[in-house]
Amino acid sequence: MAVLLSLVVQAGQMALVLLLAPLLTGLVRRVKARLLRRRGPPLLQPYRDLWRLLCKEVVLAENASWLFRATPYLIFAATWVAAALVPTFGRGLMFSWSADLIAIIALLASARFFLALAGMDIGTSFGGIGASREVMIASFAEPAMLLIMFSLALIAGSTQLSTVATYMASAEVGLRVSLGLALVGLAIVALAENGRIPVDNPATHLELTMVHEAMVLEYSGRHLALIEFTSALKLLLYVSLIACVFLPWDLAPPGAGPAAWAIGILAYLLKLGACACLLALFETAIAKMRVFRVPEFLGAALMLGLLGTLLLFVSRSL
């Protein structure tokens, strides 16, 4: 019975991230538009876009291989699984022990690996440019992420997100420079990984400035719908990650009742909303960088992660 219940909660989390992901994207777009004094698309527009894409036929390039057709499903599944493993409204979900933070990062890396390959499958120059720039960005973002994770893991004594969240909500944490550095670093990595301004522009279709869009240029119909959905899920995942580590309040403990879950979900929604507003504000305030400034930007995140780890050694408990 208890197993069944925890299975249901886990399934609930998976459904929740799936439901909320397009909403978060819609919210960011909306707030951004309002900040620019535009009216902006309705909040539910991403859902409509997805539906419309699903209903369209797929136009496949003549020399597309099976890899090209399988990739959308693969990356969607990998990102969905990763998103399901990040605590959103409750800690200690059933499957959270099957992968820790390193594995979650690696799952996202798998998704990117296949997407980059799919970008090169047709043999167009845009696909190549997108893939090559994506792996360049990733090869800085990933180590930065891992170093940030190191300092988190050293503070919390674990790479298991549930344990980290529990520790961060407890009073032992105290004020630490390293946490601040990790937060800034994580925010930078999240911006880069999700192709947000200043690294990439999710709204652009100007060929020479785009990275992510160039990779998926040949996709259409249901495949494109899945890829768009995956991007939304990834944004949600990073926001949930930041929320669960740095805003760990009101997470339902394992085995809690419906009341705790309801509070957890409400708190989660609030956290999402706050993060979306901050993201929109940041994106409005800053300009996009040249591609070759990006390594410096991400290098700063890498340095922050390393510095955070170093500074830990002079703090109280280590």
Partner 1 sequence: MALAAVLATMLGQLAVALLAIGLAGRGAWAGSVLYAASAAAGAIATLAALASLLAAPAPPETLILPFGLPWLGAHLRLDALAAFFLAVVNFGGAIAALYGIGYGAHEPSPRRVLPFFAAFLAAMNLVVLADDAFTFLLAWECMSLLSWALVMAHHHSAANRAAGHVYLTMAGFGTLALLLAFGLLAGPAGDYGFAAIRSAPLTPWLGGGALLLAVLGTGSKAGLVPLHVWLPLAHPAAPSHVSALMSGVMTKVALYGLIRILFDLLGPPPGWASMVLLAAGGATAVLGVLQALMQSELKRLLAYSTIENIGVICVGLGLAIAFQANGMTAASALAMTAALCHIANHALFKSLLFLGAGAVLTATGERDLERLGGLIHRMPQTSFLFLIGAVAIAALPPLNGFVSEWLTFQAVLLSPVLPHWGLKIMVPAVGGLLALATALAAACFVKAFGIAFLGRARSAAAATAQEVEPTRLVAMALLALACLLIGLLPGYVIDGLAPVTRDLLGAVMPAQPAAPWQPIVPVVASRSSYSGLLVFLFIGVSASLAALVIHRVASHAVRRAPAWDCGYPEPSPLAQYSAGSFAQPLRRVFGTSIFRAREQVTMPLPGDLRPARFALQMRDLVWEGLYLPLAAAIGYAAERLNALQFLTIRRYLGMVFLALVTLLLVLALWPSF
Partner 2 sequence: MPHGLAFDIAHLLAGGLVLMSFLLLYQVRLYAMLNIFALHALVLALSVAWQALVQGAPHLYITALIALVFKAITIPVALHRIIQRLGIHREIETVVGIGPTMLVGMGLVALAMVVMLPVTANADALAREDLAFALSVVLLGLLVMVTRRNAVSQVVGFMSLENGLVLAATGAKGMPLVVEISVAFSILIAFIVIGIFLFRIRERFDTVDLQALDRFRGERR
Assess 71 for contact with partner 1 (CB under 8 A): no
Which of 174, 205, 207, 266 binds partner 2 (CB under 8 A)? It is: 174
Residue with tokens 């032992």: 172
Cα–Cα distance measured from residue 125 to residue 131, given in angstroms and rounded to the nearest whole number: 10
- 120-132 b/e (C-beta count within 10 Å ≥ 16 → b): bbbeeebbbbbbe
Question: From the CB of 166, what's the least distance to partner 1, in Å?
Answer: 9
Assess 109 for contact with partner 1 (CB under 8 A): yes
Assess 314 for contact with partner 1 (CB under 8 A): no
Query: Which range in 17-25, 74-82, 228-236, 300-308 contacts partner 2 by CB under 8 A?
Result: 300-308
Assess 285 for contact with partner 2 (CB under 8 A): no
Cα–Cα distance measured from residue 304 to residue 84, given in angstroms and rounded to the nearest whole number: 28
Question: From the CB of 279, what's the least distance to partner 1, in Å?
Answer: 24
Which partner from the list partner 1, partner 2, none does 2 bind, CB cut-off 5 to 8 Å by kind? Answer: none
Cα–Cα distance measured from residue 239 to residue 261, given in angstroms and rounded to the nearest whole number: 19
Query: Which range in 99-107, 175-183, 252-260, 262-270 contacts partner 2 by CB under 8 A?
Result: 175-183
Output 74 or 279, the one with its CB closest to partner 1: 74
**Cβ atoms 146, 101 nearer than 8 A:** no
Assess 314 for contact with partner 2 (CB under 8 A): yes
Cα–Cα distance measured from residue 90 to residue 262, given in angstroms and rounded to the nearest whole number: 10
**Cβ atoms 278, 196 nearer than 8 A:** no
> What 3-state class would DSSP assign to 252?
strand
Output 100 or 228, the one with its CB closest to partner 1: 100
Residues 188-227 that bind partner 1 (CB under 8 A): 207, 217-218, 221-222, 225-226
Q: Which of 183, 265, 194 is nearest to 236 (CA)?
A: 194
Assess 303 for contact with partner 2 (CB under 8 A): yes
For residue 90, the cross-strand partners are 252
Assess 81 for contact with partner 1 (CB under 8 A): yes
Cα–Cα distance measured from residue 268 to residue 264, given in angstroms and rounded to the nearest whole number: 6
Assess 300 for contact with partner 2 (CB under 8 A): yes
Assess 238 for contact with partner 1 (CB under 8 A): no
Q: Which residues bind partner 2 (CB under 8 A)?
A: 174-178, 180-181, 295-296, 299-300, 303, 306-307, 310-311, 313-316
